[in-house]
Amino acid sequence: MKSKITIVNIVLITIAAVASLLHAYNVVSISTDVLIILRWLALTGLIIYAFIKKNLTTSILISMLVGTEIGYDFPEIGTSLHFLRQIFLQMIKTVIAPLLFATLVTGIAGHSDLKQVGRMGWKSLLYFEVVTTFALVIGLVFANWFKPGEGIIPPASLNAALPEVKSQTWQDIVLHSFPENMAKSIYHGEVLQIVVFSVLFGIALALLPAVKKEKFVAGVELLAEVMFKFTKIIMLFAPIGVGAAIAETVGHMGIDVLKNLAMLLATLYCALIVFVLLVFVPIALIARIPVIKLAKNIFEPLSIAFATTSSEAALPKAMEKMEKFGVPRQIVAFVMPTGYSFNLDGSTLYLALATVFVAQATGTEMSVGQQITMVFLLMLTSKGVAGIPRATLVILLGAIANFGMPEWPVLLIMGIDELMDMARTTVNVAGNCLATAVVARWEGELDDEKMQNSDKMIEEPVVAEV
């Protein structure tokens, strides 16, 4: 049955693609309605295939194609689907705080190895700083090489509103890492504050007598299992949320937005690809982590991050996938959420690139010394960037304010920021997944057998399990 549907799908996709190309290059004149019907016939076949296969990765990929088509053919409907994306993001956010609390407390108090917590802490921070420094340097190199900001003429009128920027000292950033009120931290989605509270709570629980401690740890461990099952239920809605996010983006901005500021967009994507090849791949090889198996394992959370432009949306699934990859739960629970504040590789690369872009667009000369100063500034200010869409704009505005540059190029960047956010958020999530495996290897706790068999494990379909 699947093979017959696959053959039919290939035929339908081929017909739709050939017809679109013939029309685009004026070889044959085909009405718009006919092209739309052909494309939707091909998509209908893919949707039927997704329902039969009942695989989350397949469903997400097909939903992204469907969302793109909805946004392209029916832009008003596409933009009106934003509430579906919000539903998915809000449901994911309900999971994050209890999941982080339960997994961290279980990992720390359940094993009672407080020395390991300290080791993981300094190893993680050292790794994060080294990798994000590489990201900043590559961002600077590409900005100075491609020079995407040169020759841009400021538009006569810019009506977009810029985010409000509050100046922060390094003391403010450190202070912001510690929770004032846990309910407030959960409400605002402050991942780092939740991590700090959970770590301290786990340490306090580990210091209790074994009789008292074991009862609480068993309850918290049960909470962690429940939250992972809760995540599986929410993932049933992931294809709809992801499809709606793509439909909203295409419907609001249109396909032609790729032509606007194409040089900046191309520079960012090229820089991120080079960063992955020159930094992520060598690190994985040094840590004896199979790159292809890792990529297959984390494809689902990466696709969610790409479509929703939210690292938080991908966090629960990324944690689950890395645990199945052979990384112990206590390491996943500590390293990954910490990385959401200290290891945003894609965002830091973007910040370096965008700051030089603003300087080039406004004709501001930045010496090598000033660019190095900017790197150190961004190393500090980029920490604690929230895992929410387009939070980096606020950091960018703060960076250019420190150098006294005009803000109008940021308004131009806002036009394609969502497209850039897709790429940098995907790299952020990939970097944090890799970080958990590297720290696990460093700790000598990476399960090689589980890792090698990760792509052979047949995962029960979410629908069937629920």
Q: How far is CA 351 from the centre of its chain?
A: 16
Of 79, 102, 132, the residue that ends a domain is 79
Residues 382 and 305 in one domain: yes
Residues 43 and 91 in one domain: no
Q: Give 391: exposed, middle or buried? Use CB within 10 Å, 0-12, 13-18, 19+.
A: middle
Of 79, 114, 143, the residue that ends a domain is 79
Residues 276 and 195 in one domain: yes
Alpha-carbon span 357 to 143, nearest angstrom:
7
Residues 169 and 206 in one domain: yes
Residues 344 and 216 in one domain: yes
Residues 314 and 328 in one domain: yes
Residues 119 and 259 in one domain: yes
Position 163 scores a pLDDT of 55
Of 79, 113, 135, the residue that ends a domain is 79
Position 273 scores a pLDDT of 95
Q: Which two tokens stand for residue 288?
A: 């004896």
- In order along its 466 residues, the chain shows pLDDT tens digits of 667 777 877 888 888 888 878 877 777 788 888 888 888 988 888 888 888 888 887 888 889 889 888 988 888 898 888 888 888 888 888 888 888 888 888 877 776 567 777 888 889 889 998 998 899 899 999 989 988 877 766 655 554 555 555 555 667 767 777 888 888 888 877 777 888 898 889 888 888 888 888 888 888 889 988 888 888 888 888 889 888 888 887 787 665 544 446 788 888 999 999 999 999 999 999 999 999 999 999 999 999 999 888 888 888 999 999 999 999 988 898 888 888 777 888 888 988 898 888 888 888 888 888 888 877 777 766 665 544 445 677 677 777 777 778 877 877 777 677 778 889 999 999 999 999 999 999 999 999 888 888 766 555 555 555 5
Q: Which residues contact 327 (CB under 8 A, 6 or more apart)?
A: 436, 437, 440, 445, 446, 447
Q: How many helices (H) and strands (E) does the chain have?
A: 23, 0
Half-sphere exposure of 94 (CA within 13 A, CB side): 11
Q: Which domain holds residue 60?
A: 2-79
Q: How far is CA 361 from the centre of its chain?
A: 28
- Say if residues 309 and 389 touch (Cβ distance below 8 Å): yes
Position 460 scores a pLDDT of 55
Residue 169, Ramachandran bin (φ over 0: left; ψ between -120 and 50: alpha; else beta) = beta
Position 165 scores a pLDDT of 53
Alpha-carbon span 446 to 443, nearest angstrom:
8
Residues 340 and 436 in one domain: yes
Residues 73 and 87 in one domain: no
- Alpha-carbon dihedral angle through residues 127, 388, 412, 142, given to the nearest 10 degrees: 10
End-to-end CA distance of the chain: 25
Residues 55 and 196 in one domain: no
Residues 59 and 163 in one domain: no
- Say if residues 107 and 318 touch (Cβ distance below 8 Å): no
Q: Which residues contact 423 (CB under 8 A, 6 or more apart)?
A: 268, 269, 272, 306, 346
CATH number at residue 383: 1.10.3860.10
Give me the number of domains the chain comprises. 2
Residues 120 and 209 in one domain: yes
Q: Give 160: exposed, middle or buried? Use CB within 10 Å, 0-12, 13-18, 19+.
A: exposed
- Alpha-carbon dihedral angle through residues 92, 284, 136, 353, given to the nearest 10 degrees: -70
The CA-CA-CA angle for residues 284, 285, 287, to 5°, reads 65
**Full-model pTM:** 0.78
